[in-house]
Structures are given as structure tokens and as C-alpha cells.
Structure 1
Amino acid sequence: MNHRHYLAVAIPLIISTITTPLLGAVDTAVAGQLSSPAYIGGVAVGTIIFNTMYWLFGFLRVSTSGFAAQSLGAQNSSESVLALTRPVCIALFAGLIFIILQKPLEYSALMLIQPDVHTAEFASQYFSLRIWGAPFALVSYCILGWLMGMSLIKVTLFLQISMNVLNIVLDVVFVYVFHMEVYGIAAATVISEITGCLIGCWLVKTNAAIPFKLPPVKLLLDPKPLKKMMAVNRDLLIRTLCLLAVFNLFTAKGAGFGSEILAANAILIQIHYMMAYFFDGFANASSIFTGKAVGNLDRGLYSRTLSLSFQWSLISSAVLAAGYFLLKDAIIPLFTPLESVLEAAKTYDVWIMLYPVTAGFGLIFYGIFTGATEIGPVRNSMLLAALGFLAAFFTAVPAFGNHGLWLAFTLFSLGRSVFLCMAVPGLAARIFGEQYSGRLKAES
């Protein structure tokens, strides 16, 4: 494998994943054209609530991709089917629980974030409609992860782009044509989630290389692979809880600085998401190649994947930082015409320029660990980074206000990269040492 092979997978995945934060950016931009910064804040708070709920189950996509890639490398068709059906069962159950508990979830979230009265009203409107898409959104996570893991890159690209483009178009139509304001933004998301899930099911059925039938319950509940899946998902859940704690503390503290600062932070966070998802395309490519290497016990493929991941971490970090520096004066005004919000955003945008430099390695090397389904180091690195964030949060924010908040976030991003990279040298021994030992025993 060389740069051409790696980029042939990475570039479509970058295009695919970048549409997700682009959707959030369009939501923010559409809300920003309305008459008050409270609209941006309301959509931002509502989005944070759903990010909290859905990111808790982000392991559904990540672990599904890793297990599917390993089953593809091992050419095990039955495990390929199980790699999707097991997490789909979890997704359906979790989505229904979210709908049943929607009122206490909304109340608890707004009590935690404590936005001002007008922002809370718009956030509540957004939540009350968007919650109905929860089961479809979570099942879509599983489908996307499986399609990526099975190296169905063009199909993955089609699904994610079509779902997000539909959402963007409906955003514009519902807000500007039907004047539905925040309800329109939420309705656009729900419709696209349902449509994307249905299209995804059809794509799985029509593109799977094997007959896709529901496996027997005995296989679904086979304790050994189920234990492995739950261990991976547990560590990914702990990682996600740390991430959510950081983002929720960031948003809640930003809300305390007033609606203009909250709106400005929401804009900058959307730009951060676009950068993060750009890295995520490389991470997904690294995950696919690592999963194949592990499934086929190909240490050479693993080494080449690791080398290419390192090189593209350097290149993409430099390109994103330089690109934002050159284009920032054109990017920020795309989100809102409100001068007070623009001025606040420009005051703090230097921190976004630092983000790719501090976060790039951690985000791309994350794919190496997920493809290997070795998530313990990911969990540990996130716990340490979160502790660093808390230390800065309680010391820098009282001293420097919103600049202190962004400093804490930047240190968190740096910690994710440093602590995860420290675990890379021992990963090959953990993967291939145990597996080669097991193979030699079986052959003897």
C-alpha cells in the first residue's frame, strides 16, 4: 500500500464525513440569519443535547467499522453479518428509550446548561421535534460503520452526502420559504435521519457480497464475541463520556458569558467540527486498513498504515491551520450578519487556528486503535486529557474568561494527541504478538 491507495480510501471518506459538520454549520448559519442571537444559541444548545445523547452511542459506528473490517480481512461472511446485527439491536433499544424519556432528558439538559430564557425556549422547540428521529439516527450509525468497515466507500459516500444534502435543502426551505424558524431546522434533521436510515437499509441489502439474513439468536448471543464487543464499546463509551463532559462544560460556561459569546463560541465550534471531521476521514481510512491487517494477520499492511497515518497527520494539520489563517475573515461572516457576534468570534478565533496542530495526531491515530479494536489506550488517553482540561478550566477561566475557556479546550486537544501517541509503540506487540502465539499453538 502507498499514498495513492491510502488517499483513494481517505478522500471519499473525508468528503463523506465533512458533510456532517457542514450540516451543523448550515443549521448555525440559517439560525444566524434570524433576528436574534438567541436563535443561534437555541440551536447550539439543542445540538449539544443531541450530541450528548448520540455521542454516548458513537461506539455503534466506530466498533461496527472495526469488527466489520476485521471480518472482511478474515473473509468470514457470518461474522460480517453479525458485525451489523448486534449493534443494530442496541441502537433500536436505545432510540426507543430516548423517546420514552424525552421530557426528563430535556429538563435535565436545560437545567445543566442553564441558558437564558429566550435561548432555552428555542432549544426546547428544537428538542421536542428532533427527538423523534433518535432510533433512525442510531441505526444509521451502525449502517455507516458497517459500510465503511466492508470497504464500500462509494456507497458510504452516497449515503452520507445524500442524507446531509437533503437536510441542508430542507433547512433552507423550511426556514426561508415556510418561516418555521427553529422548528424548521429540527424538522429538516428528523426527515433526513429517517430517510437516511431507510436508504441505508436498502444499500446494505443491495451491496452486501453475501445474502443478508437475520442470524439465529444463538449466534447473536454467542458469549465470546459478545464479550469482546461489549468491552470495546465500554471503553469507547468512557472515551465519549469524557468528550461530552468537556463539550458540555465548555458550552455551559460559554452560556454564562452572555448570548453573544455563546453564539460566537457556537460558530467557532462549528468550524472546529469541520476540521475534526476532516481528520476523521483519514482516521476512518486508517481504521479500515488496520482492521484488514488484523483480520488477515498482515503486519506489513499494519506498518504501512501506521506510517501513512503519521505522514498525513503532519500534512493535514499544517494545511488546515494555514488555510484557516488565510480564509478566516471570509469564513466567519458566512454564519451571521450580526456585528456583535462577529466581533466576539474574531476575538477568539486564534484558538481555532491552533486546533488542527494540537488535535491532528490524536484524531487520526484514533483510527489505528479502533481498527485494531484495542480501545483501552484510547480510553486512558481521553481520561488524562479530560483531567488536564479540568485543571485548566478551574484555573484559567476565572483568570482569563472566555480566552481561558478556549485555552482549556486547546490543552485538552493537545492531551488527546500526546497521550494516545505514547501508546502507539506497544500496539503492534499487543495485536500481533498474541495472535501469532495463538496461531502457532493451534498449528502445533
Structure 2
Amino acid sequence: MGGAFSLLLWVLQVPILHTVFCFVPAEPEVRQLAATYFRILIWGSPAVLGLYSLVGWFLGMQRAKLPMTIAIVQNVVNILASLFLVCVLGWKVEGVALGTLLAQYAGLLLALWLWRTRFERPEPTLHTWRTLLRDRASFVAFFQVNRDIFLRTLCLIAVTVSFTSFGSAQGELTLAANTLLMQFFLLFSYIMDGFAYAGEALGGRYYGARDTLRFARLHRSLLLWGSALALLFTLGYGFGGSVLLRLLTDEVSVIALASHYLSLICAVPFIGFAAFLYDGLYIGTTSTRYMLLTMVLATLLFFGLYALLPPANTSLWLAFLTYLGCRSLVQALYYPKVKQTVAHHNQ
């Protein structure tokens, strides 16, 4: 399936690029650099999709150290290759793209090697394939879950791309400031993704065992640790946000504008942390329909609120906070239904 999607991306790379530029206007020089970067990295789609599959397998088997090892190796290869290609060979944006491309395939090769050496792989027989093909219910459930996650991801991309587009429409300075501020959100989201992966793996185990007691304990533990980290990030951004901005750039005008919105950024961790945790629990229990419905509602709120508010960057961030808050709140309301499925599935 990953190979089919990769082939589709290769075939559609030109219309994809044109579509992106329609939604995110840019100067001709920026468009040319972005197009060069995209045309090189698109060839890494098989590696990226294949690695997603293997990382999902490792997490499902509760071997979280393996994805961490892969990520470390990938980043080291990316840094070293990019430095050599850019600083030594002078390849500029092409060098950065090729360095990333090499890192993607290095990560895939390492993941394949770990899969072959760390896990027992019984040889599939003709009887095994026949049994799998006859189990239509499992196939239907598999594609339903993938459909829900795919549509949810489309909503996520729509919000992310539109956020950038709406910001760029307010000028290059606003776009630069928002790009910096988004690093605050991304830093927090990377940490919370670890909790989401734990929710997927452990939630899936307790779902399979119909262990509602441990599932409820997992839910409480995730919320407890998630809220503690959210508070830590909120305080860190509140007291150290200006320092972090100065580490990211030395442009005084960009820092000044970004500092104006730091109070809104401080609200992101506490408003949005639950969304990551529930995403993990819902994927682990295959309750992806609730996750999709929540994401659709949150996406509609984002676009609707931004359309109603005055066209300003504050409005954009308020719409984004509403989007995160909706995901957290609505999924929390769905949780009792998800908990019931843990006890009653396949009965």
C-alpha cells in the first residue's frame, strides 16, 4: 500500500506543487527554491511511508527504543550529509534536500535491519494467505481505520497549510513571526507524541485483553503526566519565551512581533495536550471514527471562527487555539463510549 501511494505521489508531483503554491503565495525566488526542494524529496516517499509502517509495528510491539534509535541515526545522517553537501560541495538547497533524502533511506534500511534481526518472522504459507483473505471482517475494519486516519490527516493538513497561508497574506513579517511561534507548538507536540504512542501501544494491549481497569488507569496516568508537562511548558514559554525567540533568530523586527503573541502561545500546551493523548488512545482501541468526527468539527470551527473574526494575526491564533481546544474537549466527552468498547468489543 505504501508503494502504491508513493507511485501516486510521483505521478502527481507537478499538480501537487502547483496546488500548494495556489494556497501559499510566495515570491518567485522562494517558489523556485521550494520547487527544487520538493522535486528532490518526493523521491523519498517510499522510504518515509515504509518507515511509518515499521515504526508503527515497533510501537505496537512496545519496542519504543527502536524508533528512538532510528530517529537519532536519521538526524545524525541528515546533519552530516547536509553539512558536507552544502558547506563542502556548495550545493545549497539541493544539498539540504539530498541530505534529508539520504537520511530517510538510511532510516528505512536501519528499520528493516532491526525488524529482521529483533523479531521472529514465521514464513507465510498458502494456508495463512487463504485465511487472511477469507477474514473479510478484519479487512473491512482495517480499511475503515485507515480511512478515518487518512481523512483526519487531511483535516490536519488543511488547518496547517491554511494557517501558513492566512499568515502570509498579512505580510512577510507576520509569516516569519508565526513560523517562529509554530516552533513552540512543534516542540511541545513532539514531546506529547511520545505519550500518544504510549497510549496507542498500551491502550491497544488493554483493548485486546478487555481490561477496562488497566485502561482506565492508563487514561488517568496519561492525563496526569500530560497536564504536568503542559504546565511545565506553559511556565517555560511564559518566562523563557523571549530567550527562545532570540535563539531562533537575530531579526529584531521578527522577535518584536513574535513577542507580542507569546501570551497566546503560552495557552497552547494546556489547551491542546489532551488532544494528543486521546488521539493515541483512540487509535489504539480502533475508535478512529470518534477521532475523525472530532477533527472535522475542530477544522470547521477553525475556518468558521477565522472567517467571522477581523482579519488579524490575533484572530488566526484564537482560531487555532479554538481548534486545539475543540479536539481536547470533544474527545474527552467521547471517552466514556470508548471505554465501553474496551469491555464489549467482539462480544
Same fold (TM over 0.5): yes
Letter in 2 for 1:358: I
The answer on whether the counterparts of 2:10 and 2:43 sit within 8 Å (CA) in structure 1 is yes
d(CA) in 1 for partners of 2:43, 2:197 = 29
> Does residue 1:211 correspond to 2:124, yes or no?
no
1:185-264 alignment to 2 at 5 Å? 185-208=96-119, 210-211=120-121, 213=123, 217-218=129-130, 221=133, 222-264=135-177
Alignment match, 2:44? 133
Q: Is the partner of 1:362 in helix, strand or coil?
A: helix
**180 and 335 in structure 1: CA distance in 2 versus 1, 3 angstrom threshold:** farther
Map Cα deviations across residues 215-273 of structure 1 (whole Å, 9 max, x no partner): 65545544221111111111111211111111111111112122222222122212211
Map Cα deviations across residues 193-234 of structure 1 (whole Å, 9 max, x no partner): 1111111111111111x2254665545544221111111111
> Does residue 1:434 correspond to 2:327, yes or no?
no
Alignment match, 2:309? 396
Structure 2 spans left out of the alignment, 5+ residues: none
Calculate the TM-score normalised by the size of structure 2.
0.93
d(CA) in 1 for partners of 2:45, 2:310 = 35
The answer on whether the counterparts of 1:95 and 1:136 sit within 8 Å (CA) in structure 2 is no
Moved more, 278-287 or 294-303: 294-303
The answer on whether the counterparts of 1:397 and 1:405 sit within 8 Å (CA) in structure 2 is no
The answer on whether the counterparts of 2:278 and 2:331 sit within 8 Å (CA) in structure 1 is yes
The answer on whether the counterparts of 1:386 and 1:412 sit within 8 Å (CA) in structure 2 is yes
The match for 1:112 among 6, 15, 23 is 23
* TM-fit CA distance, 1:182: 2.0
The answer on whether the counterparts of 1:309 and 1:365 sit within 8 Å (CA) in structure 2 is no
Q: Is the partner of 1:211 in helix, strand or coil?
A: coil
d(CA) in 1 for partners of 2:217, 2:24 = 45
Q: Is the partner of 1:151 in helix, strand or coil?
A: coil
The answer on whether the counterparts of 2:167 and 2:313 sit within 8 Å (CA) in structure 1 is yes
d(CA) in 2 for partners of 1:417, 1:159 = 30
Letter in 1 for 2:339: A
Moved more, 186-195 or 342-351: 342-351
Map Cα deviations across residues 283-335 of structure 1 (whole Å, 9 max, x no partner): 11121111111122222221211111121121111011111222212212222
> Does residue 1:368 correspond to 2:281, yes or no?
yes
- Percent identity among equivalent residues? 28
Alignment match, 1:67? none
1:322-337 alignment to 2 at 5 Å? 322-337=235-250
Map Cα deviations across residues 37-68 of structure 1 (whole Å, 9 max, x no partner): xxxxxxxxxxxxxxxxxxxxxxxxxxxxxxxx
d(CA) in 2 for partners of 1:140, 1:160 = 10
The answer on whether the counterparts of 2:173 and 2:254 sit within 8 Å (CA) in structure 1 is yes
> Does residue 1:347 correspond to 2:257, yes or no?
no
* TM-fit CA distance, 1:281: 0.5
d(CA) in 2 for partners of 1:172, 1:259 = 28
Moved more, 223-232 or 292-301: 292-301
d(CA) in 1 for partners of 2:125, 2:226 = 40
Structure 1 spans left out of the alignment, 5+ residues: 1-89, 439-444
Q: Which structure has more RCO (C-alpha within 8 Å, separation ≥ 6)? A: 1
> Does residue 1:174 correspond to 2:88, yes or no?
no
Letter in 2 for 1:160: A
> Does residue 1:421 correspond to 2:332, yes or no?
yes
d(CA) in 1 for partners of 2:258, 2:123 = 51
The answer on whether the counterparts of 2:70 and 2:111 sit within 8 Å (CA) in structure 1 is yes
Q: Is the partner of 1:141 in helix, strand or coil?
A: helix
Moved more, 375-384 or 331-340: 331-340
Alignment match, 1:158? 69
